Each structure stands twice: as C-alpha cells, then as structure tokens.
C-alpha cells in the first residue's frame, strides 16, 4: 500500500453474509418507496415508507444523520442528480426521480439507488437515459467479475455508454462509487469513466458500491444552498442506478439485488455466485 492511500477493508464470507442481510432489507425498502412514487405523492412520504421497512427489520438508515443529512433517503428530481432532500415536493407526471438509500444491520452497510420514471407521460429521452444508466451499471458490475483492477469497472461503464446509438449522454466525473462494509463510504473510489488509471487490484473480500450517474446534457454540476443537492448547470435531467457488490473466492454477488444480480448480469454472460451461509 502506497503511503497516503486509504486502506481497503477486505471482508470474510461471514461478514459478506451480514452485508447481504442489509442488502435484502434495503432492496425491500426501495421496492416500497418505488411502488409509492406516483403523481400526487410527496417525496417525504417515500422517505417515511422507506424508514418503516427498516424499522420492521430492526435495521437503521446509514443516510440519516450522516454529516447532518436529514433523511433516510436521497430523493432527487429531474435535473437534481443526487443528494436531494425528501420534502413536500409533490411528484408530477413525467418526473425523473432518483431514490438512493442505505441500510445497516449489525454494523454492516448496504447502499443502492434506482431511477423511477413517474406516471405515464414519460419523455422517451428520459426513458432512454434511465435504461442506459441501469445497463451501464450492470456492464460495470459484469466487468468486476473478471477484472484485475478497479479501473476496469469505469472503463466498462464508459465503453458501454459511449457505444450507444443516438444522442450522446454525459457521465458525471465529480461523483463516483466507493468501497463499503463497516462504513458506508470507504476506499477505494470506483470511477464511472475511463480515467486511464488501473486503480487498486481486485481481491476477494472487496465490497463495492457501483453507481453511474448519467445526464442528458453537460456534466457540469453545482451544489445548492442546502450544501447537499447536486444539480446539472444546464438543467438537463439525470439518472442514477447503484448496487452493492461483493467479490469473493467464488465470484461476485450483488448484495442489494433480490436475485443476487442474476437477471442484470445475464446479458453480459456473467452468473453471480452466492455465498452459502
């Protein structure tokens, strides 16, 4: 480990299984929030519904109170990219909502995000944005299955996005994925673009949050006066998708997907490998 580089936490199989428990609770809480996301619903109602699922499973939110963050989830709408506060904002038909949340069980963390296209009057360009962002996430996760270095994840995301026909989408470079485990944000950083750097070597026991954020316009962003909400400067809509993924001796396992990532990885010829508890 080079001087000054943060140390990567490597998990045992038993610790990964604890993270899987947190991941499944998180998946259920996101299911609940996504199901409620329809026109006429306030984003604060989604926050409350998410929190009730965590309470039911004796889990806690790793977002609530994090550096003063005031909610269980981030709820970011349209040109808000990430870190938006749930509020009295009433969802409208055609909104592009990003719900990002996390859960802790027995001290172990999970982190996942989904884009929800609200209502029925969806702009096809927003549908394309969300679809490509989600598929790019899976491309990055699939790359991890055979990657030697962390940098290959961002390379795979970048190559997938830039290979898509049609209007060019921007990949945000100021925000990225991260290691996760006994804390929510840990080393290493997981970039969503091809930086030209290899990054740390991939080793069993690594757990990573892979989370591309794409925009329909320019990648320049600003933070609002609340010191949290990130918005695109050109007001173009954004999408975010995220899963927590474990690397172990048997392969990779998507801890925040109900099926361990089987459906999302299948188009890339990768099969997840659950750890048997």
- 185 labeled binding residue: yes
Q: Which of 110, 102, 23 is nearest to 61 (CA)?
A: 102
- 67 labeled binding residue: no
- 100 labeled binding residue: yes
Is omega for the bond preceding 175 within 30 degrees of 0, making it cis? no
Segments in 2-150 forming alpha helices (H): 13-36, 43-56, 124-146
Q: Which of 21, 66, 82 is nearest to 211 (CA)?
A: 82
- 258 labeled binding residue: no
| CB-count burial class (<10 Å; 0-12, 13-18, 19+) for 10 | middle
Q: Are 257 and 248 in contact (CB under 8 A)?
A: no
β-strand 207-210 against 213-215: which pairing, if any?
unpaired
Angle between helices 13-36 and 43-56 (to 10 degrees): 140
The enclosing H or E element of 262 equals helix 262-265
Q: Are 111 and 99 in contact (CB under 8 A)?
A: no
Which residues are known binding-site members for a divalent metal cation?
Answer: 100, 111, 178, 211, 242
- Positions at the binding site for substrate: 83, 185
Binding residues: 83, 100, 111, 178, 185, 211, 242
């Amino acid at each position: 480990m080079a001087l000054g580089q943060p140390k990567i936490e490597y998990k045992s199989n038993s610790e990964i299984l604890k993270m899987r428990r947190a991941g499944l609770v998180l998946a259920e809480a996101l299911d609940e929030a996504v199901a409620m996301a329809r026109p006429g619903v306030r984003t604060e109602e989604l926050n409350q519904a998410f929190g009730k699922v965590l309470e039911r499973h004796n889990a806690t939110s790793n977002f609530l109170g994090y550096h003063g963050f005031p909610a269980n989830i981030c709820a970011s709408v349209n040109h808000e990219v990430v870190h938006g506060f749930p509020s009295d904002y009433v969802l409208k038909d055609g909104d592009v909502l990003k719900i990002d949340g996390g859960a802790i069980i027995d001290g172990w963390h999970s982190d996942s995000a989904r884009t929800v296209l609200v209502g029925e009057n969806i702009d096809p360009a927003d549908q394309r944005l969300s679809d490509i962002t989600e598929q790019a996430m899976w491309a990055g996760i699939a790359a991890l299955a055979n990657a030697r270095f962390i940098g290959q994840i961002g390379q795979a995301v970048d190559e997938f996005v830039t290979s898509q026909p049609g209007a060019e989408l921007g990949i945000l470079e100021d925000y990225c994925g991260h290691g996760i485990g006994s804390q929510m944000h840990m080393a290493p950083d997981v970039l969503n673009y091809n930086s030209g750097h290899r990054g740390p070597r991939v080793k069993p026991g690594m757990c990573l949050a892979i989370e591309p954020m794409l925009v329909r316009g320019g990648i320049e962003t600003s933070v609002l006066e609340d010191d949290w909400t990130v918005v695109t400067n050109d007001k173009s809509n954004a999408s975010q998708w995220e899963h927590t993924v474990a690397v172990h001796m048997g392969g990779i396992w998507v801890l925040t997907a109900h099926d361990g990532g089987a459906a999302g990885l299948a188009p890339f010829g990768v099969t997840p490998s659950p750890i048997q508890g």
